[in-house]
């Protein structure tokens, strides 16, 4: 199993819209396309307050590529994204990292 850490930096005043999109649409669509939801975080102390950090899981890189391609082409995702961005873009920057657990990691 591999994990992908994604960090979304949002435009000012758009965090609520991003969280609603994930809560109401994205997480369900992820599962539909084989993207396992591991966890979602906001900074409480230290760091930036304009970022959503989350981790998703995949069996391997090939499955990841297929899952993301399927997700971004899903008409339900296209509609949800467009509706959530009716007042302008939400995300200003996306960072991602593919992570592989160590042999001593409790999450594998």
Please report the pLDDT score of residue 70 as a whole number: 98
Helix, strand, coil shares of the chain, percent, nearest 5, are: 40, 30, 30
Q: What CATH number belongs to 2-99?
A: 3.30.70.100
Q: Could you tell me how far CA 2 lies from the centroid of its own chain?
A: 15
pLDDT at 104: 95
Q: Do 98 and 4 touch, CB atoms closer than 8 A?
A: yes
Q: Would you kindly state where each structural domain of the chain is located, as residue ranges?
A: 2-99
Give the pLDDT of residue 47.
Answer: 86
- pLDDT value at residue 19: 98
Residue with the two structure tokens 């069996």: 59
pLDDT tens track, the chain, 108 positions: 899 999 999 999 999 999 999 999 999 999 999 999 999 999 999 888 999 999 999 999 999 999 999 999 999 999 999 999 999 999 999 999 999 889 999 987
């Amino acid at each position: 199993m591999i994990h992908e850490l994604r960090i979304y930096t949002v435009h000012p005043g758009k965090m609520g819209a991003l969280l609603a999109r994930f809560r109401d649409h994205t997480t369900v669509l992820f599962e539909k396309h084989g993207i396992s939801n591991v966890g979602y975080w906001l900074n409480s102390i230290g760091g930036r307050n304009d970022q959503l950090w989350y981790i998703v899981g995949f069996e391997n890189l090939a499955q990841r590529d297929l899952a993301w391609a399927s997700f971004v082409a899903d008409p339900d995702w296209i509609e949800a994204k467009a509706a959530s961005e009716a007042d302008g873009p939400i995300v200003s920057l996306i960072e991602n990292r593919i992570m592989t657990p160590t042999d001593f990691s409790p999450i594998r």
